[in-house]
Amino acid sequence: MYKILIIEDDAVIAKAIKNTIETWNYDAKCVTDFRNVMTEFVSYNPELVLLDISLPFYNGYHWCSEIRKLSKVPIIFISSASDNMNIVMAVNMGGDDFISKPFDLSVLTAKVQAMLRRTYDFAGQTNLLEHKGVILNTSDTTLSYNDKKIDLTKNEYKILQVLIENKDKVVSRDTIMTKLWETDSFIDDNTLTVNVTRLRKKLEDAGLCDFISTKKGIGYMV
C-alpha cells in the first residue's frame, strides 16, 4: 500500500484529500506540526508528497528543498498561487507536478495514480532509515546528518544499514560479515574492524561521536 503525505494547512481541504485517497486503498497522512514537517516526513516515509505552497512558518518551497536533500520521492504541488512564476518555481525547486486550486478530487486522484505508476512500476520504492537524526537512504545509498551528505564506501554503507535496521540491538560481527558477503565482498574479522574504524571516523568528522558502540566479544550497535 502506497503512503501519501499531505502537507496542507487548510484542515477541510487536507481531510477531503485524505478521505478521497484512502477510498483508492492508499494510506494517507496529514501533517499537523508545520514547524517540524521533516520529522513527520522521515517518520512516515511516504512514496508521494502533496505539498501546498502557502504554509505556516515556512512555505512549500522550503520544505520541497529540504525533502530533496534526502529523497527523490515524487512531490506534487497543490496551490491557488498558480501563475506561471509559481509553477516554474515549484518545478525548479524539485516538484514533479502542479495542481491549481480549486481542483476536482477525481483529477487529483488521477494525477496521484499516474505519478505512482511512473515512479514505482519500474523502480524500487524509496526507503529511509533514521536513527538519532542520521538518515540512510537505501534507494541511493546516501547518508545525511544535519544537512550534510556523507560519502560511504559500499562496505561502510552495508555495515551502517544492518546496524540501523537493528537499532538498539547488538549485531554480531558474524552477522555483519555475512551481510557483506552477500554483495560479493569477502570480509574477514580484521577487515571488518578496519571498515568500522574508518566509518566511525567519517561519522565523528560529521559531528556524530559514539554513534556506533562496541560490545566487546559480541559485535556493534547504534
> Residues 16, 110: one domain?
yes
Last residue of a domain, one of 96, 120, 144: 120
> Looking at per-residue confidence, does 198 or 126 come out higher?
198
Q: Give residue-wise pLDDT tens across range 142-163.
A: 788 887 788 888 888 888 988 9
Residue 77, domain CATH:
3.40.50.2300
Q: Provide mean pLDDT across the span 191-210.
A: 86
Q: Which percentage of the chain shows pLDDT scores above 70? A: 91
| Widest CA span in the chain | 63
C-alpha cell belonging to residue 4: 501519501
Q: Give residue-wise pLDDT tens across range 82-134.
A: 667 777 777 777 888 888 888 888 888 888 988 888 777 654 555 778 888 88
> Residues 43, 96: one domain?
yes
Range of the domain at 30: 3-120
Instruction: Provide the mean pLDDT of the chain.
Output: 84
Q: Identify the pLDDT of residue 82.
A: 63
> Residues 80, 8: one domain?
yes
> Residues 134, 107: one domain?
no
The reported pTM is 0.60
Name the packing angle between helices 154-165 and 173-181 (round to 10°): 130
> Residues 106, 143: one domain?
no
Partners of 220 in beta bridges: 171, 214
> Residues 175, 100: one domain?
no
> Residues 103, 32: one domain?
yes
39 sits in the region (left: phi over 0; alpha: psi -120 to 50; else beta) called: alpha
> Residues 107, 212: one domain?
no
Last residue of a domain, one of 120, 147, 170: 120
pLDDT tier at 14, thresholds 50, 70, 90? very high
Residue 177, domain CATH:
1.10.10.10
CA distance 204 to 220: 16
> Residues 153, 116: one domain?
no
> Looking at per-residue confidence, does 113 or 137 come out higher?
113
> Residues 103, 11: one domain?
yes
> Residues 23, 110: one domain?
yes
How many structural domains comprise the chain? Answer: 2
Last residue of a domain, one of 70, 93, 120: 120
pLDDT tier at 22, thresholds 50, 70, 90? very high
> Residues 64, 29: one domain?
yes
Q: Give residue-wise pLDDT tens across range 28-48.
A: 999 999 988 998 898 898 999
